[in-house]
């Protein structure tokens, strides 16, 4: 971001939101975090950011209507994001993700805030027809979570066309790693329940679970396990700051964010063994329904339009940062 801005970060107490907030502060921007703490953590909000507890449906209009110092942009991370939960409780996803964003867009329009960066997802594509996946590929989500994010993307496109919103949607692939600061503070991934592979394998290394489940070893991949594109959360944060500057009035730009390289489940587990020095027992079980064999992004548009290129693409480095945060979190909890 080229000059200091006043920014609202919705969902800034969560994993990605907290790391982006930290990057914004380090770049000299004024940040307010709005989060209802339903899945985020108050101690995850970086020092230096103002904090407002509340839902976007109820609170965004009040926060954005500050007359003395108007906001320049909103970075929107607040959402329900568990795929499995979305299947059994889809109404929660329509209410939180779609209706919540509609209320946020209305509040932005009324307050004259005309720049938005939206946290979208690769789940909007569903089962890919080919890899790497580009932004022009069909969007056929296979679960309500992905469908809700796609609905928001359509909503943002309409807002840009009708009202001149400058908007960028960033479709993440598999986010991992942690942001580590020189003073020893760490911002990383913690979900309850945890569903992502790298933190789950690290829980085995910490003795918090006995083994890691491998869902299928008969996929058409080199070692038979699913292949995913892992992107370091700090690289992801860099893209958000670039997206604010790239946002153009009346345009809704959609960019994939990924490394363009795939790592299999087996490769991830072996990398955790090497980084942590711990044996990681694994149990192979049946495939899960809806798991594509390979999900890898083409991020060429992000390179061209945002000037973004991931600089932390090494899987061992991603795992090493995640391991540092996992140990930090474990030590904190053990001392309570």
User: 276: which 2 tokens?
Assistant: 């942590």
DSSP conformation class of 11: T
Residue identified by tokens 């027992």 is 281
* CA-wise closest residue to 141 among 158, 119, 122: 122
Active-site residue flag, 172? no
Output the six-digit token pair for 131: 């890899």
> 3-class SS at 308?
coil
User: What are phi and psi for residue 232, nearest 5 degrees?
Assistant: -70, 135
d(CA 71, CA 110): 12
Beta bridge partners of 295: 228
Distance, CA of 219 to CA of 196 (rounded, Å): 19
- Looking only at the bridges linking them, the beta strands covering 179-180 and 186-187 are antiparallel
From the list 125, 145, 172, 187, the catalytic residue is: 145
CA 115 to chain CA centroid, nearest Å: 19
How many whole angstroms separate alpha carbon 308 and alpha carbon 304? 8
Q: Give the integer Cα–Cα distance in Å for 188 and 276.
A: 17
Q: What residues act catalytically?
A: 145
């Amino acid at each position: 971001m080229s000059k200091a801005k006043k920014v609202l970060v919705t969902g800034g107490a969560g994993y990605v939101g907290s790391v982006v907030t930290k990057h914004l502060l380090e770049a000299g921007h004024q940040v307010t975090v709005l989060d209802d703490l339903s899945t985020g953590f108050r101690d995850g909000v970086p020092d230096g950011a103002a904090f407002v507890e509340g839902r976007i449906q109820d609170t965004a209009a009040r926060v954005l209507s500050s007359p003395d110092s108007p906001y320049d942009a909103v970075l929107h991370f607040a959402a329900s994001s568990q795929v499995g939960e979305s299947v059994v409780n889809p109404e929660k996803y329509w209410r939180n993700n779609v209706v919540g964003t509609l209320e946020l867009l209305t509040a932005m329009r009324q307050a004259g805030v005309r720049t938005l960066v939206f946290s979208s997802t690769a789940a909007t594509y569903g089962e890919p027809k080919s890899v790497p996946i580009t932004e022009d590929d069909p969007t056929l989500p296979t679960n309500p979570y992905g469908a809700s994010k796609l609905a928001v993307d359509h909503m943002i496109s309409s807002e840009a066309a009708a009202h001149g919103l400058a908007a960028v949607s960033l479709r993440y692939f598999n986010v991992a790693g942690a942001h580590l600061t020189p003073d020893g503070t760490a911002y990383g991934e913690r979900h309850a329940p945890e569903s992502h592979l790298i933190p789950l394998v690290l829980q085995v290394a910490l003795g918090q679970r006995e083994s890691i489940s491998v869902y299928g070893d008969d996929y058409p991949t080199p070692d038979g396990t699913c292949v995913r594109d892992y992107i370091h959360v700090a690289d992801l944060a860099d893209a958000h700051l670039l997206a604010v500057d790239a946002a153009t009035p009346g345009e809704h730009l959609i960019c994939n964010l990924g490394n363009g390289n795939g790592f299999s489940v087996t490769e991830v587990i072996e990398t955790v063994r090497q980084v942590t020095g711990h044996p990681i027992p694994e149990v192979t079980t049946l495939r899960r329904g809806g798991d594509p064999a390979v999900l890898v992004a083409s991020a060429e548009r992000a390179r061209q339009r945002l000037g973004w290129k991931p600089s932390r693409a090494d899987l061992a480095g991603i795992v090493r940062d995640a391991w540092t945060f996992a140990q930090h979190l474990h030590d904190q909890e053990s001392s309570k």
